Structure 1
């Protein structure tokens, strides 16, 4: 990943904090996250500091990634959500469908202040997360170290955990089958490559336990339901902070970015823009990894993370060496067909 030169922070916290007299009529804002430990971290790094600095009455909600409710809000003209945390493909498809407002980046910050992937017409990169292999070191002295190792059910008998989606699971299957990280999407874009990914999954299909939430992935690992699992790096770090000893393996990490987007027709658009600008500042972003081990998109914040924290972040240079960037354009083009095939395959 190529990072652009950092020019300077937005200084939004100082701007917002400079007019306490306006707090009596600062308005409202509803921000929607994904719940769990991730939203706990967002609350500490973004929600509470923004509310305190701006006087805006901030209400939280959460969702599981489904856009039906958002679509119904926009179609009916009765929008009650303002800012949403969304994955890359959701942002792209939602932007094309008219579910998110196009952003005026001059009200957010300078594009050169962020990693290039953080920019989108309808969103600003909030944080970088990663899908990684993990196992419980308290149960395995020498567990699987690569995606290919997860397929070795003879050496490490037992169930494997995978997210119940084609996205990222098919990439992992190809990596496990020896496809080079820079060639994953070229291969997956072909019929032969798709067949290859499903054939690889066939090899361990009977050993797979599917999970639908990040919390479930580490809960199954802790319970011993699975010997090893694909999971989010932040979930592993959070579990370890609570006393677990889960391996955090960066070889073959598949990383993506979640974005802040404004729901089309937001009744509090001005406050929504102020929130996103605040959450994108160096100070706010630097605080985020202190609460959960996800990377950030502000270049100055990336450089300022303490080494003991940086080692557990996807964006650290050493951890990026064998990384695969989630290709949102690919999933925008192929996602519907591949997810349908994946659901059929799972049911067989």
Structure 2
């Protein structure tokens, strides 16, 4: 039977989901039955119902699968309603803000007997899976360090895209819009997946420096050093105020070799056989999993993202210091609003140095850096 799919959050990034849903529908994989958004929805396909409220959608159309592409702080309530209606979920990243919410969602899915796939599409990369398998098989020897670097730019319009953009909280709920936990979350998730493949255990300590170059409540530049129970360390160094574009690299250093995965493009450089090309589509995988769970395990099940949620909670918690405003002497504005971007001079070299040395910028004497905050993750994971 063809899966009946609904999309909650049809505008904004939801348009990318609509395009992919249309492709799969053309191939006979699914049927789109409904769209929901709090704003008017344009270009609605014939025969597809539209709603302003997800609960009305669930009651009227009873879909098999709900794709949730709404602001992160709304995910949990919508997901619980969809599970209660008997639906499987494709939930955009970041899934939820805390481990408590993560546990609630896992328990609800188990009780309902439904599946929850999280929108970390880079986990479907065949090159990434090749890397995870190689690390797990010991082909790089003992892995002692994992690092990820990305240098992007986001303009004024990006921070005006929605009422929650650049905000720390909305109506008392945490908003996950910092560089590490939203736009560059894939860099963090890929690195955590490598650590898991290396048998590193759970993360136990976070040391982080967070910065901003504009009037926002969250970071646009961040450095996080994560230590795992087995001793492995991970450095994430990312910015949205970058110089030359670095799409996103995950670097794995082992006693017998080194690997570099450019995760947005699935380019993998490592010893041994070349990695296969292509990706497993998350929605198509979820539909196949519904038919035959044993043959088609989920690519990005909610349980696989637990360590990511641990890091998110530590970075975005109420007690975490606000990101430090970088002094104007080190920042340049490029272009005019709404396309204006802010660029930190020399930031790409700072990112690279952090990744290669595992030192945070303040430890390397970077002029604009301030000391890190430290957060134990033991209670969070345990």
* Structure with more strand by fraction: 2
Relative contact order (alpha carbons < 8 A, sep ≥ 6): 1 or 2 greater? 1
Give the structure-2-normalised TM-score: 0.31
* Structure with more helix by fraction: 1
